[in-house]
Amino acid sequence: MEHINLSGRKRESYKLEFSHSLLWECALGIAAVTNGALIDTLEHSAKLSGIRSGASRGLKDQLDHIEKNNTWKSLLQLLHHVEARTLQEFISAVEKMDGKELKQICLPFLGQEKEEARKRAASGHAESLEELIRHVEGHKFFPAYIAYIFKESPGKLKKHFIASMEGWYLAAIEPDKHRLSAILEKDVHDKKLLAARTSPEDLAEQATGGIAYLPEPGVFTVRLIPQYVYRPWTIEADLEGTKVFYYPVSNSSLPADVPDSPDYFLVQKQKALGDEFRLRIVKLLFKEDLPLQDITEELNIGKSTVHHHLKILRAAKLAEVHNHKYRLKKEAVLSLGRELERYLRGGCE
């Protein structure tokens, strides 16, 4: 459909913010290692699983609790609200936090219209709890998560959050902290240089590997947080007035152990297409968007196997979920030849 704009108003944009620290990497590592549905698609899945299996009994108990109640969400929410650059600063901030404030931070932001209910629920108002749960009905884990935060005592929540962050930091971050810090710092440095010569929308799309996030009402800031542990996934979250993307660091931010290293997503896309069943799925989705059941029936293989292949295609940014159906990102597939040519010609005269 043709479009003529007579409004005379320039389309609004958003401001970009950059944030990085080992605490984000710690909390995201906890989120990754307790995500049973996605962990096998992560670049560092074997390492994460190894750390968990070799963890102390106390840390294993905390991770099991997180996997059951999705309290990794709380850790990320807390890091957005406390001024902490070190583990000890995080622990101190959580210990001093008022119980009502703690619960309000942990409860997810569900839009400005639900802020009063969120505040009342943090104070123990049962009707507000039900209002929040009704609002997120159908979400994968929010109803149970909100109910858990509401019912648990602030003291037990604090002990859980502190033990989880402290245990994972010492097991997974401390041994590699200098290398991780250098990777995160380089990525933010490079993104800030790029921000000086490109639009916020283009930079957000490039950083996230293809998420085209346009300005929306009530969102004035996009916060970009680089992460190494959750590659290749980008995690999206909402705060009041802010959209957050925890995006995978680019290959150029990694130590230059291998010369002429290809772009990370180029490698992931090529790997994703290097399988007969995934190519058949791509061909099906090229024709139309399809739900999981239809794809399963067309391929005549198990639903769990199809779901696994779809996760890989999504991780490589070649497919997405839209209106409960899987959709092929056609431009991403069709542009693969051009991306490969750019890599092959890189540095050539």
> What are 26-49's pLDDT values in tens digits?
999 999 999 998 898 898 999 999
What sections of the chain are H helices per DSSP? Answer: 22-33, 45-53, 57-69, 72-81, 87-96, 99-106, 115-122, 126-135, 142-151, 154-168, 177-195, 200-207, 264-273, 276-287, 292-299, 303-315, 330-334, 336-345
Give the residue, 214 or 346, on which the prediction is more confident. Answer: 214
pLDDT at site 257: 52
pLDDT at site 256: 67
Listed by start position, the domains of the chain span 15-248, 264-340
pLDDT band at 4 (very low <50, low <70, confident <90, very high): very low
pLDDT band at 249 (very low <50, low <70, confident <90, very high): very high
> What are 295-329's pLDDT values in tens digits?
999 988 888 899 889 988 988 889 988 888 999 98
CA 36, CA 160: separation in Å to the nearest integer?
A: 20
pLDDT at site 168: 98
> What are 96-105's pLDDT values in tens digits?
999 999 999 9
What is the CATH code for 264-340?
1.10.10.10
Kindly report whether the global pTM for this prediction surpasses the value 0.85.
no
Give the residue, 163 or 219, on which the prediction is more confident. Answer: 163
